[in-house]
Amino acid sequence: MTTRQHAQQLDEASTLAHTRDRFVLPPGVIYLDGNSLGAVPVGVAARLAQVVADEWGTGLIRSWNALPAGGGDWMGLSGRVAGRIAPLVGARGEDIHVGDSTSVSLFKMMVAAARLRPDRRVLVVEPSTFPTDGYIASGVADLLGLELRWCDPEDPLASVDDDVALLNLTQVNFRTGAMYDLAAITAGAQARGALVAWDLCHSTGAVPVDLTGAGADFAVGCTYKYLNGGPGSPAFTWVAPGLGARQPITGWMGHAAPFAMARDYQPAEGIGQWASGTHQVLALSALDTALEAFDGVTMDQVRAASLSLSDLFIRLLDERLPQLEIVTPRQHASRGSQVSFRHPQAYAVVQALIARGVIGDFRDPDIARFGLTPLYVSHTDVYDAVEHLVGVLDGEEHLRPEHQVRNAVT
């Protein structure tokens, strides 16, 4: 049987033990939901206060430009944040736009991709992906008169023929944590002449991603999960350099010269065209500081810590609760940074855990899901969480009426 002492030894050996202090975590809480909303990094509250008081309060409109005393330069903020995200996804900052939601970014990307392949009529999406990807693809297909084709999750390339304009996949599945081989699938789809777009919401900051090495075409991702940017923080879009893609929301901020106030639209060169409207300055400021939590940390370190945490979680479940069906792949190469299991009362089990201070979440229909953010989750957290889970199930705490009540957000 694996002991708590063993978990403590793993923590002592971890190269990321120091990064937990980069976050504000409430006492008495084991937070295993960073794959939904990351914890608050130290410094974010002060940065927001400073931006509000100094840049907005005192600088006022002048803060769109760089202030003589330092600060401001809100026009360059999205680009600076892009520069921080770039090394996490194997890309250059100048090929990344930060703004909008993931859903809006998916829309822009799918329309742009379809227009790059005007002779092809099909968008391929994987049916167990996060619903917004399918909803947006369906909307884009309607708008452009294309066909939406659902692929086999086990073999997405089987659906890619010479009528496919775009294969859109989420690298790490939000329910199970199963991970695709990004490079192999990219190469396979491109060999059939299709473009490939990756949704990296559950990958960025959790697993190493090399968009450049894989030669992918597009990627989007959110920043409020493993990047800890805060609720509703802006998404990012990466477009392969030289692809010549043009996004469809032709707003003034993507114009080559927004303040020329010209009548006719003239797209900015490069990634600048992917901006549509005014930058989300407060949210970008929070994200900018949040990303400092990755300073001096390599994605290989993050990956090693993540796999060590999920290995421990799976081993403890196997030992102590073998009746549970773990749906997260056991092979490292196919696993993201979470552990999920099925339970007929998964919602109530998660509620009972939350009542004990262990925060995970539930995904319909029967998945209990636990995100492992290596920057602040420890092996002892994992040990203690499983101990609580055993307590919940042994004591049938999930059967209590208060744990049956469905909240709007699960």
**Length of the chain measured in residues:** 410
Active site residue 130: yes
Active site residue 92: no
Nearest residue to 198 via CA among 291, 130, 274, 98: 130
- Identify the bridge partners of residue 148 per DSSP, sorted by sequence position: 123
C-alpha span between 229 and 223 (Å, rounded): 5
**Annotated catalytic residue within 33, 369, 381, 383:** 369
> CA–CA distance from 47 to each of 21, 72, 295 (Å)?
17, 12, 17
103 binds ligand PLP per the rule CB under 6 A: yes
| Residue 156 beta carbon to ligand PLP: minimum distance, rounded to whole angstroms | 15
**Annotated catalytic residue within 225, 335, 356, 363:** 225
Nearer to ligand PLP, 226 or 347 (CB): 226
- Identify the bridge partners of residue 231 per DSSP, sorted by sequence position: none
Query: Which residues make Cβ contacts (< 8 Å) with residue 97, sequence separation at least 6?
Result: 78, 82, 236, 237, 239, 271, 272, 274, 275
Active site residue 265: no
Q: What residues between 6 and 25 interact with ligand PLP by CB under 6 A? A: none
- Tell me the one-letter amino acid at 314: I
Q: Which stretch binds ligand PLP (CB under 6 A): 16-24, 101-109, 119-127, 159-167?
A: 101-109
CA 211 from centre of chain: 15
Residues 276, 234: contact at Cβ < 8 Å? no
Residues 226, 34: contact at Cβ < 8 Å? yes
Neighbours of 253 (CB within 10 A): 18
**Interaction mask 207-246, ligand PLP, x per CB under 6 A:** ---------------x------------x-----------
Size of the site for ligand PLP (CB under 6 A): 13
**Interaction mask 115-134, ligand PLP, x per CB under 6 A:** ---------------x-xx-
From 174, 238, 274, 376, residue interacting with ligand PLP (rule: CB under 6 A)? 174
Q: Which stretch binds ligand PLP (CB under 6 A): 20-28, 99-107, 297-305, 365-373?
A: 99-107
98 binds ligand PLP per the rule CB under 6 A: no
Residues 28, 367: contact at Cβ < 8 Å? no
SS3 percent helix, strand, coil of the chain, rounded to 5, is 45, 15, 40
Q: What residues between 151 and 170 interact with ligand PLP by CB under 6 A? A: 170
Nearer to ligand PLP, 10 or 200 (CB): 200
| Residue 329 beta carbon to ligand PLP: minimum distance, rounded to whole angstroms | 17
Nearer to ligand PLP, 69 or 408 (CB): 408
101 binds ligand PLP per the rule CB under 6 A: yes
Identify each DSSP E strand in 228-337 by its residue range: 236-239, 325-326
Cite the active site residues: 130, 199, 224-225, 369
- Residue ranges binding ligand PLP (CB under 6 A): 101-103, 130, 132-133, 170, 174, 199, 201-202, 222, 235
